[in-house]
Amino acid sequence: MKEKITKLIKNFVKEYEKQDNISTKWGEPLVGFADANDPYILNFKELITPTHKLPMDVLSDASIVIAYFVPFTKELARTNGTPGDISSPEWALAYEETNAMFVNLNEYIISELRKLGYHADISPEASTFDQKILKTIGLIVILQKLLILEPLV
């Protein structure tokens, strides 16, 4: 199942960047899975911010957290290499397009997981960026198998 979810995410990103109105090209996404009850995750309120959501805040029976990282390409990173406080125009556009893609990607992952019989959801704060503490304050995706109670392997 992990491979299936990873493939869904990678394929979504590849297809998304082919859209005519998208100029950003991304590197290959990194996808990870964690036990929703892992002590590190349960410590997010202390590690990140007291308002950070925990898996059980999103789904009371959460069992797995899916996290992904979609990197910018090296070429894009190089456009932002000049010293100063202002990002390159290319970087700024990529930032906007990436955040818009995340909304669509999260909706897609949740939809696909539900079709497979999983209960999946996202923290409403997942796309919230706190300017004061410079951290995202939400979770990406949490899921629980509804019909067959088995771990993802």
Question: Mapping DSSP to helix (H, G, I), strand (E, B) and coil, where does residue 78 land?
Answer: helix
**How does pLDDT run across 23-59, given as a tens digit for each residue?**
999 999 999 998 999 999 899 888 877 888 888 888 8
Report the greatest alpha carbon distance in the chain: 54
Cα(20)–Cα(18) distance, integer angstroms: 6
The region that residue 84 occupies, defined by phi over 0 for left and psi between -120 and 50 for alpha, beta otherwise, is: left
**How does pLDDT run across 73-120, given as a tens digit for each residue?**
999 988 887 777 788 889 889 988 998 999 899 999 999 998 988 888
| Structure tokens belonging to residue 25 | 């090209």
Helices 2-16 and 89-115: crossing angle, nearest 10°?
Answer: 140
